[in-house]
Structure 1
Amino acid sequence: MDTVREFIQQKLPVQGASYSIYRGGEDEEELHIEEPPRDPVGSRGRKRPPRLSPTLQKYIIGIILTAFVAFILGFVATRRPCASCDYNSAQLAQDREPYEPWEQDDPTQMDWNELRDLLSKYLRDGQMIDSVIRTVSKGPHPAGSEEDRVLAQMVLEKLKTFYLDHTWVDSHFVELPFPPDRNRPTFLEVSLNGTREETIELGDPDVYCPYSPDGDVSGGLAYAQYGRREDFQRLAELRVDVKEQLVIVRTGFISFAQKVANAEAAGAAGVLIYPESHNDFAVYGHVHLGTGDPNSPGFPSFNHTQFPPMKSAGLPKIPAQPISSESARKLFRKLIGVSYPSFANRESAFSKVKNPKMDLRLVVRNTKRSVELINVFGSLTGLVEPEHYIVVGAQRDSLGPGAAKSAVGTAILLELARTISMMVHNGFKPRRSLLFVSWDAGDFGSVGATEWLEGYLSMLHLKAAAYVSVDSAVLGDTKFIARSSPLFKSLIKNIMKQVDNPRRSQHNIYENAMSQNIKNWETEDLRPLLVDTSAFAFTAFAGVPAVGFSFEELDHPYQYLDSQYDDYKRLNEVVGGRLAAVSLSLAEVAGLMLIKLSHDHILPLDYSAYNSALLQHNIDLNQYSSKLQEYGLTLQWLSSARGDYTRATQTLKKALSLSDLSNEKLIQSFNVRIMRVEFYFLSQYVSATEFPYRHILIGRGEHTLEALIDHLKNSTNNIDVGLLRKQLALFTLTVKGAANALSGEVWEIQGSF
Structure 2
Amino acid sequence: MSTDRHHRYDAVPPIPTYEEAVADAPPHETESHSLLTSHNGAPSSSRRPNGYRAPTVETDDEDGLFESDDDDGDETAYVRREMQELEIGEPDRGSRTSLWGKRIPFSLSLPRWKWSWRWRLPRFRPTIVLPSGPTTSPSTTEGDESGTENRSRWRFSWPRFQGASRKQVILLLARIFAVFVVLSFLYLIFVSDVFSRMARRLGTGFRFDPEDVRSWVQGHVDPAGMATTVKHFTSYAHLAGTEGDYALALDIEHMMTRAGLDTVDVDKYHVYLNYPKKDGRAVQILDKDGKPSWTAKLEEEERGEQIVGRQTYAFHGHSKAGDVKGPLIYANYGSRMDFQQLQDRGVKTEGAIALVRHYGPQSDPALKVRAAELAGFAGCLIYSDPADEGADLDDVAPDGRYMPKDGVQRNSVSLTNWVIGDVLTPGWESKDGLPRMNVDQTPGLNQIPSLPLSWGDAQVLLKRLKGHGKKVPDAWKGGVPGVEWWTGDASSPVVRLKNEQHEVEKQPIWNVYGKIEGVEQMEKSVIIGNHRDAWGFGATDPHSGTAVMLEVARILGSLTTKGWRPLRSIEFMSWDGGAYNLVGSTEFVEANVDNLRTNAFAYVNLAGAVAGTELHAAGSPVFRQTLHRIMDRVNDPVRNATLRHLWEARHGELEALGMAGDYVPFRDIAGTSSIDLGFRGPRYPYHSNYDTYDWVKNVGDPSFIYHGVLAEVVALLVLELADRPILPFDLAGYADSLDGWVEDLVAWAKGKIKTGADAGEEKYALDQLKIAVHAIKSAAKTFSAWEHAWDSMIVSSGGWESGGLNNQRLEYNERMALFDTALLDLEKDGGIPNRTQFKHVVFGPQQWSGYNATFFPAIRDAIEEGDWDLASKITLKTAGLLRDAARVLVPSADA
Q: Same fold (TM over 0.5)?
A: yes
**1:356 is matched with which residue?**
491
Q: What is the letter of the counterpart of residue 738 of structure 1?
A: A
TM-score, normalised with respect to structure 2: 0.66
User: For 1:9-28, what aligned pairs fall within 5 Å after superposition?
Assistant: none
**1:723 is matched with which residue?**
870
**1:65 is matched with which residue?**
none
Question: What is the CA distance between 1:140 and its match in structure 2?
Answer: 0.2
Contact 2:321 2:449 in 1 (8 A): yes
Q: What is the letter of the counterpart of residue 618 of structure 2?
A: R
Unaligned runs of 5+ in 2: 1-105, 112-189, 300-311, 390-402, 478-483, 795-800, 848-853
User: For 1:491-640, what aligned pairs fall within 5 Å after superposition?
Assistant: 491-504=626-639, 506-515=640-649, 518=650, 520-522=651-653, 526-553=654-681, 556-559=682-685, 561-575=686-700, 577-579=702-704, 581-623=705-747, 624-625=749-750, 627=754, 629-630=758-759, 633-640=764-771
Q: What do the CA deviations read for 1:108-151 (whole angstroms, capped 9, x no partner)?
A: 53343212111023323x33222211111011012222222222
**2:843 is matched with which residue?**
698
Larger radius of gyration: 2
Which is further off, 633-642 or 223-232? 223-232
**1:750 is matched with which residue?**
894
Question: What is the CA distance between 1:237 and its match in structure 2?
Answer: 6.8
Change over 3 Å in CA distance of 1:616–1:350 after alignment to 2: farther
**2:859 is matched with which residue?**
708
Match of 1:667 among 809, 825, 829: 809
Change over 3 Å in CA distance of 1:634–1:367 after alignment to 2: same
Change over 3 Å in CA distance of 1:137–1:308 after alignment to 2: closer
**Aligned positions, number:** 641
Contact 1:82 1:426 in 2 (8 A): no
Match of 1:247 among 337, 342, 354: 354
1:384 aligns with 2:384: no
**1:644 is matched with which residue?**
775
1:166 aligns with 2:296: no
Question: What is the CA distance between 1:213 and its match in structure 2?
Answer: 1.1
User: For 1:450-529, what aligned pairs fall within 5 Å after superposition?
Assistant: 450-476=586-612, 478-504=613-639, 506-515=640-649, 518=650, 520-522=651-653, 526-529=654-657
**1:3 is matched with which residue?**
none
Question: What is the CA distance between 1:226 and its match in structure 2?
Answer: 3.5
Contact 2:425 2:435 in 1 (8 A): no
**1:678 is matched with which residue?**
820
Unaligned runs of 5+ in 1: 1-78
Q: Secondary structure at the match of 1:438?
A: strand
**1:123 is matched with which residue?**
221
Q: What do the CA deviations read for 1:438-488 (whole angstroms, capped 9, x no partner)?
A: 221222122111111111012111111111122211113x21122222222
Contact 1:272 1:321 in 2 (8 A): yes
Question: What is the CA distance between 1:608 and its match in structure 2?
Answer: 2.7
**2:578 is matched with which residue?**
442
**1:257 is matched with which residue?**
366
* Cα distance in 2 for residues equivalent to 1:514 and 1:156: 39
* Cα distance in 2 for residues equivalent to 1:83 and 1:643: 58
**2:293 is matched with which residue?**
198
Contact 2:862 2:868 in 1 (8 A): no
* Cα distance in 2 for residues equivalent to 1:156 and 1:421: 14
**2:535 is matched with which residue?**
399
Percentage identity across paired residues of the two chains:
26
Which is further off, 462-471 or 226-235? 226-235
Which is further off, 407-416 or 320-329? 407-416
Which is further off, 255-264 or 659-668? 255-264
Contact 2:330 2:488 in 1 (8 A): no
Question: What is the CA distance between 1:93 and its match in structure 2?
Answer: 4.6
1:175 aligns with 2:279: no
Q: What do the CA deviations read for 1:170-194 (whole angstroms, capped 9, x no partner)?
A: 1112231111353xx2222334668
* Cα distance in 2 for residues equivalent to 1:80 and 1:268: 76
**1:92 is matched with which residue?**
198
Contact 1:552 1:558 in 2 (8 A): no
Question: What is the CA distance between 1:206 and its match in structure 2?
Answer: 1.7
* Cα distance in 2 for residues equivalent to 1:110 and 1:430: 10
Question: What is the CA distance between 1:530 and its match in structure 2?
Answer: 4.1
* Cα distance in 1 for residues equivalent to 2:702 and 2:879: 52
User: For 1:33-48, what aligned pairs fall within 5 Å after superposition?
Assistant: none
Q: What do the CA deviations read for 1:676-730 (whole angstroms, capped 9, x no partner)?
A: 2222222224446951122223324699723433443x45xxx333323333233
Question: What is the CA distance between 1:341 and its match in structure 2?
Answer: 8.4
Which is further off, 86-95 or 278-287? 86-95
Match of 1:188 among 275, 283, 286: 283
Higher relative contact order by CA 8 Å / sep ≥ 6: 1 or 2? 1
Q: Secondary structure at the match of 2:216?
A: helix
Change over 3 Å in CA distance of 1:91–1:246 after alignment to 2: same
Contact 1:81 1:427 in 2 (8 A): no
**1:735 is matched with which residue?**
882
Question: What is the CA distance between 1:235 and its match in structure 2?
Answer: 5.3
* Cα distance in 1 for residues equivalent to 2:425 and 2:607: 25
Which is further off, 640-649 or 261-270? 261-270
TM-score, normalised with respect to structure 1: 0.78
**2:412 is matched with which residue?**
286
Question: What is the CA distance between 1:153 and its match in structure 2?
Answer: 1.6
Q: What do the CA deviations read for 1:209-255 (whole angstroms, capped 9, x no partner)?
A: 11111234444444444445565566567665655543333233633
Q: CA RMSD in A?
A: 3.2
Q: Secondary structure at the match of 2:641?
A: coil
* Cα distance in 2 for residues equivalent to 1:708 and 1:633: 9
Contact 1:644 1:739 in 2 (8 A): yes
Contact 2:626 2:729 in 1 (8 A): yes
**1:5 is matched with which residue?**
none
Q: What do the CA deviations read for 1:70-98 (whole angstroms, capped 9, x no partner)?
A: xxxxxxxxx9975997745762355326x
Change over 3 Å in CA distance of 1:334–1:371 after alignment to 2: same
Q: Secondary structure at the match of 1:249?
A: strand
* Cα distance in 2 for residues equivalent to 1:305 and 1:274: 39
Contact 1:223 1:342 in 2 (8 A): no
* Cα distance in 2 for residues equivalent to 1:707 and 1:269: 31
**1:74 is matched with which residue?**
none
Q: What is the letter of the counterpart of residue 271 of structure 1?
A: C
